[in-house]
Structure 1
Amino acid sequence: MANVSVAAEWLLLYNRYYRKPELYQMRWKHIDLSRNKVACASFGGPIAVIRDDSKIVQLYAESALRKLRIFNSAGVLIAETVWKHPGGRLIGMSWTDDQTLVCLVQDGTVFRYNIHAELVEPNISMGKECFEQNVVDCVFWGNGLVCLTEANQLFCVSDFKNPQPYKLSDPGLEDSPLCVAVIEPQYVMSGNVEVLMGVPEGGLVVVEEDSVQRVDQVGGEVLGPLQKMAVSGDGKWLAAFTHDGQLLVMPTDFSEIKFSCNCESALPPEQMAWCGMDSIVLYWDDMLLMVGPIGEPVRYLYDEPVVLIPESDGVRILSNTSMEFLQRVPDSTVSIFKIGSTSAAALLYDALDHFDRRSAKADENLRLIRSSLPEAVEACIDAAGHEFDVSRQRTLLRAASYGQAFCSHFQRDRIQEMCKTLRVLNAVRNPDVGIPLSIKQYKLLTSSVLVGRLINAHQHLLALNISEYLGMNQEVVIMHWACSKITASLAIPDAALLEMLLDKLQLCKGISYAAVAAHADKNGRRKLAAMLIEHEPRPSKQVPLLLSIGEEDTALMKATESGDTDLVYLVLFHIWQKRPALEFFGMIQAKPLARDLFTTYSRCYQHEFLKDFFLSTGQLQEVAFLLWKESWELARNPMASKGSPLHGPRIKLIEKAQGLFAETKENNFESKAAEEHAKLLRIQHELEVTTKQPIFVDSSISDTIRTCIVLGNHRAAMRVRSEFKVSEKRWYWLKVFALATIRDWEALEKFSKEKRPPIGYRPFVEACVDADEKGEALKYIPKLADPRERAEAYARIGMAKEAADAASQAKDGELLGRLKLTFSQNAAASSIFDTLRDRLGVS
């Protein structure tokens, strides 16, 4: 009998059964759909209702103010707001895929609302032409809109997330079209929307962005005027109602008329919608007509206005009092509940009934279907998924479980999966939530999108429970709840609200406290934001937010504690721009990492600022080193030569450095070095000016003396010697080699005779030998006191006999050996050394 009562609700359209279960008794009051404009979202979404200002209606007890009301699918009020928009009559409204309500008014302005009736900024204008011509009609799809002006021009927005209105091709119509429909961009080869317009003279005009096409014939048949059109959910089929009461169905390439049906009424339907992919539903004042490709249409009579809401697997029917769902009965349900069914699934369902009544017929049924038992179990599970009635779901799942006990090769988790799915669906179908999803719609929508919709509707607890139940990430739910709580709790003190927030935020590891804190700051609760940031474990999230709410001290502390140099630099640059210099210096002085990073950066790019820092912290020697470094950098300037005036600033910088070094006892050496450096630079600068030769600056004292002698400026050389207390030995060395450089042998000889040289005569010999002047060298070699030196000097200028005589005086066998090697190419000289070694008796 249960089977009979279930199947009794069905109607047969040719060989397919359809059912129309009631989903809800509408909870709203005093809502008459005929007096209102209504927009219903697909996938069991919300319903928007606003009084239709194009109709003259009696207000009853209503306020004269027009209100936009948003209900869930069970008629529970979610939100309402007063409609305040100028711009003329409301032409149309619809819900986008992300459940934003889009409202188009006569002057081409588009207003958007979220599910809580809050205006989403900014408004969108369809353009100047729409404003001037007035909009008379519009068609919405997923996230787009096409509107028609009084001048029969079409304008389009393809995606409200990036609203860029553009004009479509001019359809070239004189009279207004009878009806308009669109094929969504995703189903068009070009990727642009295709607009279909039924015109009074008959046929169709197909308009795209850059083309217009006339369709007067389909499959050889002439098309008369079309009064109403509906495109299938997959964009492949067009249903059209003609002027003579025919319903035509054709592919959207207009290659043939697939079928036609006489609807026995020339009056066009008020609404027309596809019921899944199997049939088309037409609605007149009191009748709903469902037409299939074959067989007689099915009629449903209504004594109140209805709104058709197309879904992927059927049509939801909204009336003043109820919400119904017209759908094709799933095959699994037919196999179980069809009157007289003897399928394995029907026998299994019947076996459970016998088992509950303790009848032996249960075993008999199971024996009959033993070979088909897995298919019967699967059918019961599938049928349970398609049911809206909870008790019937339970019975079907019990039948599946009963059958599974006798199956050895059936997936054990199939029933558990279906139970999970149904628990979720039953929870969201509750009238207080009001999302009457079928199982097919749920699979298309996905659980993550469903949770997102629950969050947006502020059904946070249910969203959290579903996320936990399905093993999904709960962070999104808790984050949204926390932000919504902050927005809605302006009267709650910060400390109390923080406790409430932490209680929930701690449920989820790794949650971004910084994001919640940012929301608190955006809502003007800076103290709460600072308290929340304290709980953020990731410095990379924590520090930037601390800076944005003005907590620079804390940000610097957290950044230095993290050891992340990039974060420390972020804080340093931020404070550097915001705070006075002295305050900034005080902040970083006590933090070694921040201080060191600041000084490292400033040494490269901000010398002046770094000098201020060192002065403020009493590090005079550091300032002095910076000044000295600047003087060297000034020297690299290509203009700092040829007696350039830039040497003046260099000298001043070094003198400043010397003054700072002199103020600390620890830097006596640096002070003296700076003083002498400045003195030397000044002398060198004067020498370059007088000689007009850029060869002195930045050379050493020795090089300066040598250069002066080479240039013949002995007075300047003496001055440098006396200024820097150059020792006599060093002076002799420098003068000897300088005179040799310019080959002034007369002056060299004269210099050697002034007095006995403190460095001896060896440098004189070396200078002459290096200059390849052997004759000059002979003047000084005899004056060498050490016979060894004398022997080696003779050897260097190739005088073997004299070298041998000097070596014999030294009586040094090792020296004789070296000298022999020197003259190894000269046999006569070599024998002299051998004879000498033999005579001296050395080996």
Structure 2
Amino acid sequence: LAVITTTNRMFLLSNVAEPKVRSVPDLPRANEPITSWCVLSTGLRNSAVIGFLVCRDKEIYKCQLGESRAVLMRPDISNPYTQILTMVSSQNGRHVALLTDSGFLWLGSSDFKSKYCEIDTGYIKQPKELVWCGSQAIVGHWDDTMVVYGFNGNAYPYPYDGPFHIIPEMDCVRVISESTHELIQKVPVVVEKIFRINSAAPGSYLLEASKQFQKRSHRADEYIRLVKPDLSNAVQDCIDAAAFEFSPDVQKMLIRAAQFGKGFIIDPVLTDHYVKTCRWLRVLNAIRDPKVAIPLTFLQVQNLGERVLLDRLIWRRLHCLAGHIASYLQIKEGHTRVLSHWACYKVTQPHLDNESAAREIGEKLRNVPGVSYATIAMKAAEKGRKSLAIKILEYETHSKLQVPLLLALGEGPTALLKATASGDTDLVYTVLLHLKEKMGKHEFELTIRSFPLAHALYIKYCASHNREALRKVYVQEDDFHGQAATHIRDAIDQTNPGSAEASLISARECYKKGKNDLGVSICEDARKLCKQQSSLQETYGESFIGLSLHDTVRKLLLLGEVKLADKLRAEYRMPDRRYWWLRILILAERSEWGELDKFSKWKKSPVGYEPFVDACLKHNKSDEALKYLPRCRDDIKVKYYVKAGFYEEAAQVAFEQKDEGALAFVQSKCPIRETLKQERIAALIEQLATRK
């Protein structure tokens, strides 16, 4: 986009959506008015603007990107003049046309180094329109006359009855009058080569050969022989010429010639080009029909692209033709896009009843992949047809598209039904939170009870975010076990002993109502433990509230309160194995090795004596571990001796057990540098082998 302000400052924008303004050099004496200006650009599609040409009376300045100042251009204009009225650059940016106030039209290159010609137009006033016809000629519009000026200096006037308008295109000029729509275009080179009088071009010979072949004349062979050395180019020319022609009869004639010539050669690339051109010709002939009235040239439609062509047909509501073209050209997702737009248009028609409109849309789009019924339903909702939107949403298979729109339409229960049917928990949560916000409390609870999955997820949500709401749900459902669970969770989270005890009492009462004796017993034990923990906390100044029985006993053992710990163990029936493990670990942690030895002899260990060894080794007390190694189980005694680093003793035990494998294991674990031990172990192995 090129912009020139009232203060004659110039700017360029490459993208309107994300504007990035680039300025060009300012004109000298910028406050003086300018008489005309134009933009120089390169290319035909996605053209890049490179600068401005600005006229002030007789002066022409070129303001280009990347330059520090405007450059004064000096065109070679032979005829006298005082002012340049109009200035136009060609679409490819290579040519410029200047019209002076003396009526002369100057044609030359955009760098003003080359002059093509100067033409006396016979008009000393500014034309209504002055545009380029492609890049080969300039077309002027004066009053009721259109004049075409060529680079050779010739002028071709065309008078019109009544007003008309000229529209420049990339390869031609459109002339729109009150009753006609005409195209003015330079005859393409390939067409000129074929149809020129006495043409000796290969394409011309091939065309004549095709005509003679259709007449069943032997002269077809003579023409083919003439063109055979250059047959590929001849076929290519006929295909290209057919693409430029507007007459279906001429197109057929050229395509037949190309097909005839193609039969004598094998060229996959040429065949592909032939097929594509034939397809596009059928499309072009269809859209050039007066009922459609989109007279595009082959170059224009190639430049626009198939998707833009589809869009033009769609916005003209020519859905049937657009659908056929999309299928014929095999445009990816083209047919889907056409039908989606058709459906969106269909729902805006007020004369169609909801039932028939929804049924027709559903039947038409049933087997079409990629159609978003949610988009169509949204369009219907925008037009105030809520019931139609709901009916269309029934066809939507993607719950993530269907459910949010149902919520927006106020169909909460239906949205919840679809969400639960999809099995998508995130979607169910979305609906639940929306309904909770929009509905009353009683209505919400009644609604979700009909959906087991939603109800379960709501309970899970409340368990994590709103325990009080969860408790109310359990109360309404007379779920005493659930109520007890919430009270127990409250007790766990409490730091105040009184509050924790109260919560446990509430949990106990709930279990009583639910006739759960085990729950009652556990809650009562937990309440008593909580009370004792409160007393211990006051006595020792340590935090006991919230600890488990295991952690409470452990803490008492760390504090040296063995009798109190033993009392708690007995009162709450802590398993002996767990208690012994705790005592062993705590005594080792406190480095009370004598007490550990006494404890091991107190009575037979329910956990064995391996934990004693492990506890000693954990604190690097191998000598203490040696006390308990003889009492380890026979099947693992050797391994524990090795683990403690007593290799000779391990070997002796293995020897006494007559276990060669164990002796070999000890030998492999014994460090090589311990040569004396290695020798003794080897001797035991040899001695055991001799006994056998």
Q: Which letter maps to 1:242?
A: T
Could you say if the C-alpha distance between residues 400 and 773 of structure 1 is closer, same or farther in structure 2, counting changes exceeding 3 Å? closer
Q: Deviations over 1:611-668 (max 9, x none)?
A: 222222222211211221222122xxxxx4xxxxx22222222222122122111x22
Mapped contact 1:289–1:297 kept (Cα < 8 A): yes
Distance 1:294 1:527 in 2: 69
Moved more, 561-570 or 477-486: 561-570
User: How much has 1:328 moved relative to structure 2?
Assistant: 1.5
More strand by share: 1
- The structural deviation recorded for 1:420 is 1.7
Report the equivalent of 2:355: 495
Q: Structure 1: which amino acid aligns with 2:595? A: D
Deviations 1:500-524 (A, max 9, x none): 2223222523422222112112221
Which residue of structure 1 aligns with residue 398 of structure 2? 538
Using the alignment, how far apart are the partners of 2:193 and 2:499 within structure 1?
Answer: 102
The separation in 2 between residues aligned to 1:510 and 1:702, in whole angstroms, is 60
Distance 1:631 1:352 in 2: 99
Counterparts of 2:43 and 2:273, CA distance in 1 = 34
Read off the aligned partner of 2:166 and give its amino acid letter. Answer: L
Partners of 1:192 and 1:209 within 8 A in 2: no
Tell whether the 8 Å contact from 2:487 to 2:503 is kept in structure 1 after alignment: yes
Asked if 1:333 corresponds to 2:194, the answer is no
Aligned to 2:327: 468
Give 1:631's aligned residue.
491
Say if 1:476 and 1:403 are closer, same or farther in 2 by CA, change over 3 A.
same
SS of match in other structure, 2:511: helix
For the residue of structure 2 that corresponds to 1:259, the secondary structure is strand
Contact 2:239 2:258 (C-alpha < 8 Å) held by counterparts: yes
Q: Equivalences for 1:581-660 in 2 at 5 Å?
A: 581-634=441-494, 640=495, 646-660=496-510
Deviation digits for residues 233-282 of structure 1 (CA, Å, limit 9, x no counterpart) = 12344332234444444555x36244342335444433221221222223
Shift of 1:216: 4.6
CA contact (8 A) 1:198 1:205 kept: no
Distance 1:371 1:650 in 2: 103
1:399 aligns with 2:257: yes
Answer yes or no: is 1:770 the counterpart of 2:631.
no
Find the aligned partners of 2:545 and 2:185 in 1 and give their Cα distance: 102
Question: Displacement, 1:474?
Answer: 0.4
Residue in 2 that maps onto 1:177: 34
CA–CA separation in structure 1 for the residues paired with 2:399 and 2:308: 31
Rounded to whole Å, the distance in 2 between the matches of 1:514 and 1:398 is 48
Aligned residues of 1:175 and 1:200 also touching (Cα < 8 A): no
* Residues 84 and 98, structure 2, Cα contact 8 Å, conserved in 1: yes
Q: Is 1:147–1:155's contact at 8 Å kept on the other side of the alignment? A: yes
| Matched residue, 1:21 | none
Seen in structure 2, the aligned counterparts of structure 1 residues 684 and 210 have a Cα distance that, compared at 3 Å, is: farther
Q: Deviations over 1:793-838 (max 9, x none)?
A: xxxxxxxxxxxxxxxxxxxxx9xxxxxx9xxx9xxxxxxxxxxxxx
Structure 1 pair 771–519 and aligned structure 2 pair: CA distance change class (3 A): closer
Pick 1 or 2: higher relative contact order, CA cutoff 8 A, min separation 6.
Answer: 1
What residue is the counterpart of 1:348 in the other structure?
Answer: 206
1:446 to 293, 299, 305: 305
How big is the shift at 1:469?
1.7
- Asked if 2 retains the 8 angstrom alpha-carbon contact of 1:685 and 1:697, the reply is no
Deviations 1:517-551 (A, max 9, x none): 12112221121111111112222322222222222
Alignment partner, residue 522 of structure 2: 673
Matched, 1:480 2:341: yes
Preserved CA contact (<8 Å) 1:308 1:317: yes
> What pairs with 1:300-319 in structure 2 (closer than 5 Å)?
300-302=158-160, 304-319=162-177
Q: Partners in 2 of 1:705 and 1:173 — Cα distance?
A: 91
Q: Say yes or no: does 1:568 pair with 2:428.
A: yes
Amino acid at match of 1:770: E
Question: Which residue is equivalent to 2:616?
Answer: none
Q: How many residues align?
A: 587
The structural deviation recorded for 1:337 is: 1.6
Q: Which amino acid aligns with 1:484?
A: Y
Q: Check whether the contact 1:314–1:326 (CA below 8 A) recurs between aligned residues.
A: yes
The 5 Å alignment of 1:130-209 reads 144=1, 146=3, 148-149=5-6, 161=17, 171=27, 172-183=29-40, 194-200=51-57, 202-204=59-61, 206=63
TM-superposed CA distance for 1:443, in Å, is 0.9
User: Which letter maps to 2:531?
Assistant: R
Residue of structure 1 aligned with 2:141, choices 264, 283, 302:
283
Deviation at 1:209, TM superposition (A): 12
Q: 1:504 to 1:209 in 2, by over 3 A?
A: farther
Structure 2 residue aligned with 1:263: 120
Per-residue CA shift, 1:769-805, capped at 9, x if unaligned?
628899xx9xx99xxxxxxxxxxxxxxxxxxxxxxxx
Q: Which amino acid aligns with 1:526?
A: K
1:364 to partner: Cα distance:
4.0
Structure 2 CA distance, aligned partners of 1:281 and 1:291?
6
Task: Indicate if the aligned counterparts of 1:684 and 1:704 stay in contact, CA closer than 8 A.
Answer: no
Residue 351 to residue 512, structure 1, CA distance change in 2 (3 Å):
same
- Specify which structure has the higher proportion of helix: 2
Deviation for aligned residue 1:323: 2.1
Checking the alignment, whether the CA contact within 8 Å between 2:314 and 2:322 is kept in structure 1 is yes
Query: For residues 537 and 392 of structure 1, do their structure 2 counterparts lie closer, same or farther at Cα, with a shift above 3 Å needed?
Result: same
Residues 261 and 500 of structure 1: is their aligned pair in 2 closer, same or farther, counting only changes over 3 Å? same
In the TM superposition, what is the alpha-carbon distance from 1:466 to its structure 2 partner? Answer: 1.0
Would you say the 8 A contact 1:233–1:276 is kept in 2? yes
2:513 aligned residue? 663
CA 312–246 in structure 1, closer or farther in 2 if over 3 Å, else same: same
CA contact (8 A) 1:351 1:362 kept: yes
CA distance in 1, matches of 2:507, 2:211: 105
Q: Aligned residue for 1:829?
A: none
SS at match of 1:474: helix
- Mark the runs of 5 or more structure 2 residues left unpaired by the alignment: 604-633, 635-640, 642-647, 649-692
Which SS does the other structure have where 1:376 is aligned? helix
What amino acid does structure 2 have at the position aligned with 1:676? D
Aligned residues of 2:327 and 2:335 also touching (Cα < 8 A): yes
Aligned-partner SS, 1:388: coil
Q: Secondary structure at the match of 1:313?
A: coil
Alignment of 1:112-131 (within 5 A): none
Which residue in 2 is equivalent to 1:60? none
User: What residue identity is the alignment partner of 1:180?
Assistant: W
- Partner AA of 1:486 in structure 2: V
1:429–1:507 Cα change, 3 Å: farther
CA shift for structure 1 position 166: 10
- Partner AA of 2:499 in structure 1: P
Alignment of 1:430 with 2:255, yes or no, is no
TM-score, normalised to structure 2's length?
A: 0.72
Counterpart of 1:91 in structure 2 is none
Which stretch shows the higher mean deviation, 178-187 or 495-504? 178-187
CA distance in 1, matches of 2:402, 2:311: 27
Name the counterpart of 1:233.
91
Aligned to 1:577: 437
C-alpha separation between the residues in 2 aligned to 1:535 and 1:308? 49
- Considering only aligned residues, what root-mean-square deviation do their CA atoms show, in Å? 4.5
Partner of 1:833: none
| Shift in Å, 1:156 | 7.5
The residue aligned with 1:3 is: none
CA distance in 2 between counterparts of 1:596 and 1:493 reads 40
Percent of pairs identical after alignment? 30
- Any unmatched runs of 5+ in structure 1? 1-143, 635-639, 641-645, 742-766, 782-813, 815-820, 826-843
Would the alpha carbon gap of residues 701 and 366 (structure 1) be closer, same or farther in structure 2, given more than 3 Å must change? Answer: closer
| Rounded Cα–Cα distance in structure 2 between residues aligned with 1:197 and 1:337 | 43
